[in-house]
Structure 1
Amino acid sequence: MSTVVRALGLSALLTLVPVGIGVGVAGDRTPTPKAAVYQGTDLADFDSTTAVVRRAPFCELVAKEAVAEALGGDGELTAWGNGEKAAAVPGGDVAHEYGCAFAGSGAEARAWVFAPPVTRTRAQALAKAAPARGCTTTAGAAAFGTPSVATTCTSGEQRTVSWRGLFGDAWLTCTLTQGVGATEADLVDRAGRWCVAVAQAASVVPS
């Protein structure tokens, strides 16, 4: 065999080796990372000063696990947007907010953010006016924005725990309602964790 032929054969072999290796590597599939398991966060452990809440729809971004934890099971979603008239809005009025309600068996979790920007002065007035008839302000409650207010309201056989607070120029509210048969301490704890999930969802920028 001539020197030229041998050289060409060696060159072809050296070319095939990396190609074969490349095909083998391409065939290997890297396992897809699994999504992190949802873990609720107590409101007292949540730094609400770092949350940048958007005045925009957010309900579809709330973790399903957070809804299940708050309600003790699955919930049916009803959402509304700015300028919409929804039955879920008190009085059926036109909403000037983005919000939603998750209804479960004997419990309901709600959350909404005002569409218009809110100043600190306006927020202080809103916080002061939050305790309505049948409601009490929760002294020493964990912060939910600055300023913020936490209330517990009882109406008939239902008790509602809520937090309201200012995040930048966004006034965010979250509530959890359940029968009075549940202990108030447990309801406050679950409501706080629900509010953290809401603030986190409202702070996410969709990709």
Structure 2
Amino acid sequence: MSTVVRSLLLSAFLTLVPVTIGVVVSDDTTPEREPVAYTGTALADYDTTTTAVQRAEFCDLLPAEAATEALDAEATGSAYGNGDASDIVPGGDVAHEYGCRFVPADDTADDNRSGIEARAWVFAPPVTADRATMLIRAAQRTRGCTVDPAAPAYGAPSVAVQCTSAGRRTASFRGLFGDAWLSCSLSLPDSTPIDDLVDRAGRWCVAVALAASA
């Protein structure tokens, strides 16, 4: 092999090496997940039917302002994942979902005496349209709850219910986003005007959908 050819091959090799190394280093870098920006968007102004929600942890992506505005107070929260056993899991059972609960900072997330809270959760297993219909029917039959047929969509299909119990009122939105069943709720004192409760719950739920689809 001539000296000229060897020189050309060596030059080409030295050119390729940094490019290859750069690609390897780039592939090993995982972008840090950042909380989504809080927009305060009303549910009626947000198209949830085109949102692609992931069946994964999302609570760390919720902006702090979302819970603070929903509760009208500084908030503190606790999260749980699929397979976790926690007192904040609805029913105190082992979770088959990813979710979180926020309460006023003068309460504690594990001992919320006031009952004021903002919740969000997404099922870990995929949900079919038929299963979603069953979940909607179950929500509609919950004692102490009424369905809001005029509520904006929260996925497709979806349901909005308002429930009253033990001095508090809860507004909740639940729906199917692809194969992900996403739910959110806001509980405030029953002296809170229903329109205010529903509006604040809707804005909270938009923030939840944005975080769960990030």
Answering whether residue 121 of structure 2 is matched by residue 143 of structure 1, we say no
Cross-structure match for 2:135: 126
Aligned mate of 1:113, from 114, 117, 122: 122
Counterparts of 1:174 and 1:117, CA distance in 2: 18
Partners of 2:162 and 2:36 in 1: CA distance: 33
| Identity rate, percent | 58
* Structure 2 residue identity aligned to 1:97: E
Per-residue deviation, 1:90:
2.5
**1:179-194 matched pairs, under 5 angstroms:** 179-194=189-204
Count of matched residue positions in the alignment of Structure 1 and Structure 2: 170
The counterpart of 1:195, out of the listed 175, 200, 205, is: 205
Instruction: State which structure, 1 or 2, has the greater radius of gyration over its C-alpha atoms.
Output: 1
TM-score normalised by structure 2 residue count: 0.76
Structure 2: gaps (5+ residues) = 1-34, 107-113
Asked if 1 retains the 8 angstrom alpha-carbon contact of 2:36 and 2:61, the reply is no
Deviation at 1:36, TM superposition (A): 9.8
Query: What is the aligned partner in structure 1 of residue 187 from structure 2?
Result: 177
TM-score (ref. length: structure 1): 0.79
Q: 1:36 to 1:157 in 2, by over 3 A?
A: closer
Paired residue secondary structure (2:212): helix
Q: For structure 1, which runs of at least 5 residues remain unmatched after alignment?
A: 1-34
Bigger CA drift: 72-81 or 35-44? Answer: 35-44
CA deviations 1:120-160 (Å, max 9, x no partner) are: 01001111111310000012110000000000000020100
Q: Report the Cα distance in structure 2 between the residues aligned to 1:116 and 1:181, rounded to whole angstroms.
A: 37
Distance 2:70 2:196 in 1: 10
